[in-house]
Structures are given as structure tokens and as C-alpha cells.
Structure 1
Amino acid sequence: MDGSQPGDIPLRVQRARVSGASQASIQSLDEDVAEALDAPLERRLGLWSGMAIVMGSIIGSGIFSTPSLILGSVGSVGMSILVWVIGAVVSICGCAAYMELGTMLPRSGGEKAYLEAAFPWPRELMSFVFCLASIFVCWPTGLAADAVVTGSYLLYAATGTSEGHPAWAERMVGVGVAVLCALAHACFSRWAIRVQNVLTVVKALLLVLVVLVGLSQLGRGQLGHDVFAGTSRSANGYATALFKVFFAYSGYTALNYAVDELKDPARTLPRAAMGGLAATALLYVMSNVAYFIVLDADEVRGAGTTVAGVFFTRVLGAAWGQRVVPVLIASATLGNVMCGSFAASRVIFAAARDGYVPLGGLWGSVSRRFGTPVWALAAGGLLTSLYIVVPPPGQAYALLIDMGGYPFWLFSGLAIAGLLRMRRTHGELLRPFRAWMPANCLSLAAAVFMCAVPFVRPGKDDGAAQEGAAPYWAAPVVGVAFVAASCCLWYVRALLIDRIEYRKQINEDQI
């Protein structure tokens, strides 16, 4: 026996065997399957393409749509800006840890590869649960939120207002965005990367425009008054706000999922990731300052997820602010979905090749025609579309962010703990990049905070308590329930049915 499971064999091979096809034809099909499963991905990403993917993955709907939600959670303008600064510092520390992991274990798959190496027992439990959480919760919820915001800004440009749109309209636009991005990466990979690079430039220039326009309006808005008046004292409110901030900063690990496609990964990975994150963090903080220079706190709260549209309408007038700039913002969030679709498909691709999902031979194959993981991209697009259309309208955007953020922080904390563990257990491994220990400790503390505090009940008068109809505990409970269910599934498949093939026994020689 070749060790493959029935779910790992594409349907065309199974049908050929059942229909009594000749042994030669079946052998030819089996060779095609083996070639597709073993085919490597081309190393086509250099420094600038890597930076474009990182900045493109980071800059998305968060900076254009979450400031009103963050202000509602923390209560004051000054604290709203401060949490963006805190988010920048924590993200840079986390990025440093991931750069050490990525250069020490230069494999595609991100946390999957790191958890697999750091916690080899129970065998592949950590990597299995991470893959399921990433595939079914973390990535599709974030991409769904970005795709919906793309629809919101396109409708804002079409109608000149952020209110009164049918809920189904922006969702249908979002589904179209998700499908378009998956199709572009599947069939036109080189052009998709070029478009990502162009849209990344557009996004960066758009944030520069926000900063310049805001600075030109000094003296207006809320800045200059008591910027910390009304600051919330709710720990849950700050956790809620930080989930939004970290959602806006998320994406700096995008290249860790595609290390096999980087040219000279030991040099390219840390330079591209740290450079892209640092530039984006500066633009984020200055953009929030610009928002509050032009708009007061009530205007920001009332803008909902179209803060940037209201900002440009106030400064540039209806023609530019309501028609032209929202299209540019929509293109920025579209670019974010493109970059996220690329990274998410690589997680599905890596998980499928290790037998973590059914029909692994399908999702883990590389198209001989296009040289891309077509079916992994299709799966990612389908899951994103489901999260766009299934949640109820209203506060779906905020709920999607929180649902995807909780498992992310759980596994991010485990990955950094694994890094510290491997420094002790695998000190002989080459580390082209080494993160500063205080930065690792700060990242780990942030992960513990983000996992624990969402369960703290907010005060009755806190903005966090009134942010939406969903209970404060809904998002973390969903995250914990999914992780627990994934652990049970691992037990059933690995120990009772024995369907998972443990091809990777972690030891010093293989690491």
C-alpha cells in the first residue's frame, strides 16, 4: 500500500479504478496525482514584492473603518490614539519573534510549522488545531470583514451616503470581491502579485494623503481640548479596542506562510516584514491623529465603518470625498483581500499536504497549468463567502473581527512560548535573526491579556457594553468552543480512526 487515504485520492482516479480502466491508464493518473502533490512552488518573491505583500496584508479595512469602534470602546480621543501606539509596539515585538521563527525554521505554513516543531507531543495536536482554526475561523472571518467594507465604500461612492444601503447589497459586492481575488491568484498569479504591488502603493499614498490633509486642518476637531476626557475604565473595553487595533495591524506574518516562495528567505523575510510593518505603523498613528484633527468625537462615532469617507467629504467636498476617494479606499481594501487570500490559501495548502483536512490530495495539489494551489484558493474563497452571507446584519463586522482575533492570539502566544522553549531545547539551530528577549516577553504578556480579558464583564456605562447586540462573551466563547471541538476531532481521527498519517516525526535531524 502507498499509505494514502481514500480522501487523499482525487475523484477521477477513484472513478478510473472502479470503472475497470486499464492498469496503464490508472498508473498514469496516479503519476499525475503524485506529481501534483510533490510539485514545489516557485521562488518568485523578492524584497519589494515581499514588502508589498506585508504592507498590502496589513493596510486594509481596519484603518479606514475601525476608529469609530475603537473610540466607542475606550471612550476618549487621546486613549483611542494611544491604543494605536500600543498596538504598533506590540506588533513590532511580535513580528520580531516571528522573524526568528521564520528564519530558524524556513518552511511555509507559519504557526503550523512552528507549533509542530516546538510541541511535538501530543503528536501534531497543536499544528492540527491551529490549521483548523486558521482555515475555518481566523482567515475567512478577517477576509470577510475586509470584503464587506469594500462593498460599503463602493456603495458610499455610488450613493454619496453611508446609510440606507440594503444589507444584501454590500454583502453581494463582498462575495464578488472574495471570488475575484481567489480567481486572480489561481489563474493569473504573476499578474495578481503585480496588481497587489500597485494597490499597496495606492494604499500607502492614500494614508499619506490622509495625514497631509489632516495636518493642513490643524485647529479643528477634538485635538487641543481635553483629549482624555471620558476615558473608559473597563478592561473588557480595552481588550475589545485592542482586538480592532491588532486586526488592523495583522498581516505582518503573511510572508511566514510563503517562505518556500521567497528568494533568499533568511535575508528577505526579516527585512520585508519589519520594514513593511514599521512604515505602516507610522502611517496608522498619524492617520488617526489626522481623523481627529478634522472630525470631533461624535462625528467619528456617527461615521460607523466609513470614517475615512466622512473625513474626505468634510475636507475635499462631496465630489471628491463622496465619489472619488471612496473608490480608492475600496481598492485599498480589495488589495488587502488579495494579499490575505494568497496567505490563507498557503495555510490550506500546507494543512492538506499533511492530511489535516479531508480530500487532502485535492486541496494540497498544484495546478500543472497555472503552477498555483488552485483548489486551496477555491476553498478559501468559498469559506470567506460563507462568512459574508451567513452572519446576521448590524454588528457583523465587529463580531467577525473579534471571532477571528481570539484564536489568533491563542496560537500566537503558543508560538512565542514555543520559540522560548526551542531556545532551550534546540539551541544548536541556526538563527539568522534573533528577537530581543524583552520583546518576546511583551508579546507573550499581550497574548495572555487578549485571551483572558474578553471574558471580563464590561461596565453598564462603558462603550464596549453597548457596541452591539452580541454579548461581550460571544466571540471568545466561539473561539474556545472551536478549539475544544478541534481537539476532540484530533483525538477521534488520530487515536480512534487513525486517519492522520504522521509523516513528520519531529527530531533534531529533521529540524
Structure 2
Amino acid sequence: MGDMQLQRILGTATTWLVGMGVAIGSGIFRTPGDIAAYLHAPAWIVAAWLLGGGIVLMQCLVTAELATRVPRAGGEYAFLKAAYGEFPAFFFGWAYTVLILGGGAALIAAALGDFACELLQVDAARSGWFAAGAIALVAAVNAAGLRVGAGAQNTLTLLKIAALATVIVIGFSATVPLRSAGTAPPVAAFAASAPAGGAGAAGVPAAAAFLAALLNVLWAYDGVTDSAKLAEEIRDVRRAVPRGLLGGAVTLTLLYVLVNLALLRIVPAAEMASLAFVPGEALARLYGPSGRTMMLAVAIVVCLGALSATLLAPIRVTFALARDRLTFSFLSRMSAGQAPVPALMVVAAFAALLALTRTFSQVLQVYYFAAALLFGLTYASLIVLRRREPEPGPQVYRAPAGTVLATLLILVQLAIATHTASQRPLDMLYASGLLVFLGVLYFIWKRACTGSQSSSSTFPVPPSTAPETTGACTPNSCTSRPP
């Protein structure tokens, strides 16, 4: 095991399936009830899922151009370094590893643990141990190598797509029990269901309620662009990344909208609002307890697949950070199978600890605020890179109206950060404090590394697929780049 050049061994199919694999997780099972509690009406619920899909499509367009402009491991980390220099990249890489990568894996694993406890009918206090065990399992699979990890997660993603398609078929084909006189079936009343104005949820203005619901929707979509973090390991980036990202966004939007319509056909929106696991309740109404049991098993497989994909692509951020000598050098080591095993083990251990000690909702609030700030800065990098190089050449995919899309995405991220801060100010302060600490850490780190050759504040996009083989810098020892 050691530092090595990355080989391009992944194709378009994996690019598509990795993004889908990260996104299809606990969100589609946990969020329908919360969204219904905010919006009440089927028309508004479906509108939120469609708008979320539109936002994700914009994210994919912008990310596709960035990934072809900067086809390096780490995705957003590489984009920020190319656009702004070393400090924002350090800031993003550390914050992403701690809050988004570690926290995101913990969130998915925590949901898996909850589902496992209910399925096995054991004390809910054991949820954290199921979560930690799942993290250990997928970390071991991904440590076996990129081909093994990608193959496993692709299989799980296809199973997840098939499971959601089955829910759609069941929902639209099942005979729905008749309701009491005067009560319309939820989808039959769809066109007349949207409120004209006023409160969207009890005492909450409609705009605030819709934004809160949209936040839950975006959590369910989150991760569809993560395959861009594998850009340095993807063959024909110009072709594979745009197709994989855009195909994933369209497929995911179609699946999520149809799943929600199928659920609304069985469970009225008013009843959804009080349910934590709407798909399980829907199948229980059709098939009794066995229906809920089936959905619990499906949910566990779905979460396991999302966890596997999360530790496959996003871990490249930590690897890239270490390769650029901005974190501990041992985290840049790759196995012969092209797996960043040390980075995997460290992140998996942190995620397991987080799953054992924090609740799903607490981590989620910290995650939202940090992610909104970091990704807003990332989308702005497209504007910077376009101004710096307006005609990059045929190897770059140009997003239509890319500058406009990036600006809209920045505004969306600012709205999310503002809403999250207003709802959970203590968690916002916790996340902000950690981000400030990381800013200070950068200057401490650089001071400790003054003996090494200063790395360039930006890097050019390499003409070949192989990254530089660099030395590594840690607080205790620094080695310069080889000539």
C-alpha cells in the first residue's frame, strides 16, 4: 500500500449508479410524513418533489461542467482549489470529512439501525450498534478495492431502483379501500388540494412551511452529484460525467414523484403527517403486518446501499486533501485495488462514533447548515472559472446558462442556511464554531509545514489522467515534492 497514480477504470453506468446509490437512502422513507405535516395537500407535496428535482438537475448541470474543467479526485474540493486556491479547499476538505462525509454516513446508518430494531423487534437502544455494524461492513467491502466496491454498490443500487419501482406498481395497481362518505381519495382531489394562501402548517406562513418541506426533499435527493468526486477514475470524463449526472437526476425525480403519488393513493396526506414511516404504513394497509415487515427489509437494503455509495465516492475528498498535503499524509495511501483504506477506516470510525452518540435529527441540522455554506461556495466557483477561461476547449462540457444556474443555486443554499439557522440556532452555532476552528487550523497547519516546499495555490487541469505523485505534510514531518 502506498501513494499511487489513479487509474481510470469506471464508466458511464457506474457514474450514473453511484450518484443514484448515494441519493436513494433513508430520505425517501423518512421524509414523506414530515413533508405532509408542513404542506398538507397532495398538490403542494408533489410540487415540492418536482421543485427539488429541478434544483438537483441544476446542480448536476453545474457539477458536470466543473468536473470536466477540473477532472480531479475530490469533486468540490478540487473545484474550490482550482477557483480560489488552497485555503478554501482546506476549509472544504476538512469540513466535508467531519460534517458531511462522517455526519452523512452516520445519518444513513442511524436510520438503518432504527429500521433493524423494528424489524427484529429489539430494544431501540440497540439502534446505534446496528448502525456501527453496518458502517463497518460497507467500509470493509470498499476497502477490498474500487472494482469490488463499485460492483457491490451498483448491485445494491439496482436492487433499490427495483424496490422503488415495485412500490410504485403496488401503489397504482392496488385496490384502495373505500373511505367514509364525503371523503375523496387523496389523488382524486389533487387538483383542488393546493391552498390559495395563508398558513402552510399550523401557525407557520406558507413560504416558511414550503421551505421547510423543501429542505426535507433536498435531503432525499442529496448525493446525486457525488459520482463527480470519482472524475479522476472515470474513463472519458467529457462523455460519462454529464450523462451519468443528468441521467441520475432525471431518473431520481421520476422515481420520487411516482413513489409519492403511489403513497398518496393509499394514505391521505392528512394521515401521512403523523407517520414516521409512510411506505411501511401504506403496505401494512394493503397486506397487513407482513406488508410493513417487507418494507422494513427493503428500507434496510436501501440504507445499506446508500451507506456503501457514501463511503465509495465522497471518501475521495479526504484522499485528495491528504494527497495535496493538507491533512495527515497516511490518508492519501491507496491499496493495490485503488481503495483509500486509511481514509476509509478513519472516516468509518468517526461515523460509527457519531451514530452511537448523536440522534438523527441533531446531526441533520448541523449537516444542513454546513453543507449549505460549503456548496454555495462551490457553485460560485463555476463563475470564477468561466471568467478565467471562457473558452476551455472541446474536452469541457458547457452547462447551458451555467452562470445563471450557479447564481440560482447560490441563492438556494443561502435560503437553506438562513432557514436552518433560524430554526436551530444552537446547532448553527455548533457548526459555525467548527468551521471557524478549521479556518484557524489551516494557519497552524501551514506554519507547521514551513519547512516544506510551498504548494501552488491553484493547480492546472492535467492533460493526462494521472495525478501528481506528491509528498505529504503533517504537523510532525514535512517532505517536499519529488522533482
TM-score, length-normalised on structure 1?
0.81
Tell me the amino acid that sits aligned with residue 181 of structure 1: V
Query: What is the percentage of aligned positions where both structures have the same residue?
Result: 24
Pair 1:149-2:111 in alignment:
yes
Shift of 1:218: 7.5
Query: Are the aligned partners of 1:63 and 1:248 in contact in 2 as well (CA < 8 Å)?
Result: yes
Count of residues in correspondence between the two structures: 445
Summarize the alignment of residues 370-389 of structure 1 with structure 2, pairs less than 5 Å apart.
Answer: 370-389=337-356
Conservation of the 8 A alpha-carbon contact between 1:79 and 1:231? no
> What does 1:382-461 align with in structure 2 at a 5 Å threshold?
382-391=349-358, 396-430=359-393, 432-437=396-401, 438-456=404-422
Deviation string 1:246-281 (CA, Å, 9 cap, x unpaired) is 121111222211111111111111111111121011
Residue 227 of structure 1 is matched in structure 2 by 193
Partner of 1:356: 326
**C-alpha separation in 1, matches of 2:454 and 2:213:** 40
Is the contact made by 1:236 and 1:456 (CA closer than 8 Å) also made in structure 2?
no
Match of 1:475 in 2: 427
Q: Secondary structure at the match of 1:152?
A: helix
Whole-angstrom CA distance in 2 between matches of 1:496 and 1:192: 36
**Pairing 1:180–2:137 present:** yes
How far is the alpha carbon of 1:345 from its aligned partner? 1.9
Match of 1:197 in 2: 154
Task: Tell me how far 1:77 sits from its aligned partner.
Answer: 3.8
Question: SS where residue 200 of structure 2 aligns?
Answer: coil
| Counterpart in the other structure of 1:332 | 302
Change (3 A) 1:40 1:129: same
Q: Verify the 8 A CA contact 1:243 1:402 in the aligned structure 2.
A: no
Residue among 49, 53, 69 paired with 1:84: 49
Q: Distance in 1 between matches of 2:461 and 2:406?
A: 26
Determine the structure 2 residue equivalent to 1:22.
none
* Counterpart residue type for residue 213 of structure 1: I
Two-structure CA RMSD over aligned residues (Å) = 2.4
Alignment of 1:298-317 (within 5 A): 298-304=270-276, 306-317=277-288
After superposition, the Cα gap between the structure-2 partners of 1:411 and 1:117, relative to the gap in structure 1 and judged at 3 Å, is: same
Deviations 1:12-49 (A, max 9, x none): xxxxxxxxxxxxxxxxxxxx8xxx12x12332211112
1:79-123 deviation per Cα after TM superposition (whole angstroms, max 9, x unaligned): 232211111001100110000000011111111111111112xxx
Distance 1:363 1:280 in 2: 33
Distance 1:212 1:273, change over 3 A: same
Gaps of 5+ in 2: 178-184, 464-483
* Residue type at the aligned position of 2:357: V
Give yes or no for the alignment of 1:69 onto 2:34: yes
Letter in 1 for 2:334: V
Corresponding residue number in structure 2 for 1:241: 213
Identify the residue that residue 7 of structure 1 maps to in structure 2.
none
Q: What residue number does 1:366 align with?
A: 334
Change (3 A) 1:236 1:474: farther
User: What CA distance in whole angstroms lies between the structure 2 residues aligned with 1:500 and 1:137?
Assistant: 29
Aligned partner of 2:440 in structure 1 is 488
Counterpart-to-counterpart distance in 1, 2:254 and 2:461: 42
Judge which range, 83-92 or 495-504, deviates more: 495-504
Scaled by the length of structure 2, the TM-score of the pair is 0.86
Asked if the contact 1:494–1:500 (Cα under 8 Å) also holds between the matched residues in 2, the reply is no
Q: How far did 1:298 drift?
A: 4.5
Provide the secondary structure at the position in 2 that maps to 1:231. Answer: strand
Distance in 1 of aligned mates of 2:434 and 2:207: 24
Q: CA deviation at 1:238?
A: 3.7
Write the distance in 2 (CA, Å) between the matches of 1:239 and 1:474: 20
Any conservation in 2 of the 1:156–1:322 contact (CA below 8 Å)? no
Residue identity opposite 1:486 in structure 2: L
